[in-house]
Amino acid sequence: MKVGIIGASFAKAAYLPAFRHVEGAEVVAIASARLASAEAAAGAFAIAHAYDDWRAMLDRHRLDLVCIATPTVTHAEMTLAALDSGAHVLCEKPTAMDAAQARTMLDRAEALGRVHMIDHELRFNPNRRKVKELIAAGAIGNVRHVNVSNIVSSWGDPASRPAGDWWSRAADGGGRLGANGSHQVDLLRWWLGEVAAVDGQLRTMVPDRVDRRTGASWQADADDLCSFAMEMVGGPLVHVFVSAVARHGLDNTTQIFGSEGTILLENTGEKLRLARAGGAFEEIQVPDPNATLPGLNPGIWNVSVVALLREMIAAIREGRRPREGATFRDGWRNQLVLDAVALSSRERRWVDIAR
């Protein structure tokens, strides 16, 4: 199967190492806004063709799969063009700039009969699968409330981001809500079902920034901190807090409280613990068999991509929908939630989610 990739940065970190372990898939072309970046990735991974024009790549190759790992503002245009060229599409998160774009992507993919997925790779992580299994089996009874906290320090220093960094620009679809909050929303929908309403706040805590290399001052306007509550259909209340500007990072923790037990999940060390009614916490984490594959970069994000790509390639080969993972439909439903958080922040009120 012939694969093309748009965007070289995440491709080098995750996609390209993972594709070495996906049988029957060959990356034949890569495009990046900077030709030097595309050529560097192509040289490191023996890719025959490198481009600084993604449209030229689509025009010159008949691709079975296009993977899109670019700024959010480009996702819809690139996805629609790739679908129209005959390719199936894997798109990075957040899905699009808004739910209308996400719905257009979904409708086009469905109308053309393409396999479509959003790269919410943590659905393929064994510990997060275990969480889903425990909840579905009633191991902790009825889920009552959930706390998710992702606190890091990587954006706290005004010189930590290069001038014009797209993740720091709202017009490009940057911000922590999209970067990390989208993953939290997807996991919570996967575990608990749909979201009924949200109440949230987005903040830019460090707007005044300086380029470390040039010393030039510049302004960031995307959120570097977001906090939101979600009322889930069926009752559970969820609180999500995401900050990139703490002085000391605490990484990612998830606490799920049920009527008959509690689940605790920590990204650091991938520690998963379960306590049933009347009992103490026990460690029940599950190792990822793909973590020992040669050439992968460390971290659950990079490792989980292997299983996601294997499922997508299998779905394309077998002419079926993905059995696992987030599709464009999930991307659209997730985007409805992200849009509602932004609206809630602007208007300082609870916002209902359309069903």
pLDDT at 216: 95
Between CA 221 and CA 151 the distance in angstroms is 19
- pLDDT grade, residue 74 (50/70/90)? very high
- Section 149-175 average pLDDT: 96
Task: Find the angle CA(232)-CA(237)-CA(241) to the nearest 5 degrees.
Answer: 110
Contact in structure between 284 and 274 (CB atoms under 8 Å): yes
Contact in structure between 303 and 291 (CB atoms under 8 Å): yes
Share of the chain above pLDDT 90, in %: 98
CATH 3.20.20.10 is held by the domain 2-122+305-326: no
pLDDT at 177: 98
> By three-state DSSP, how is residue 103 classified?
helix
pLDDT score of 329 more than 90? yes
- DSSP H or E stretch at residue 346: helix 328-347
Pairing of strands 26-31, 2-6: parallel
Contact in structure between 96 and 71 (CB atoms under 8 Å): no
Per-residue pLDDT tens digits for 79-118? 999 999 999 999 999 999 999 999 999 999 999 999 999 9
pLDDT score of 268 more than 90? no
Q: Measure the N-to-C terminal CA separation of the chain; round to a whole number of Å.
A: 37
- Section 120-135 average pLDDT: 98
> By three-state DSSP, how is residue 328 classified?
helix
Q: What is the pTM for the complete model shown? A: 0.97
Q: Helices (H) and strands (E) in the chain — how many of each?
A: 11, 17
H helix intervals, 20-62:
35-44, 54-60
The mean of the pLDDT values for the chain is 97
pLDDT score of 355 more than 90? no
pLDDT score of 238 more than 90? yes
Contact in structure between 97 and 36 (CB atoms under 8 Å): no
Between CA 111 and CA 103 the distance in angstroms is 12
Per-residue pLDDT tens digits for 173-213? 999 999 999 999 999 999 999 999 999 999 999 999 999 99
Report domain extents, the chain: 2-122+305-326, 125-274+333-352
* Class of CATH domain 125-274+333-352: alpha beta
pLDDT at 295: 97
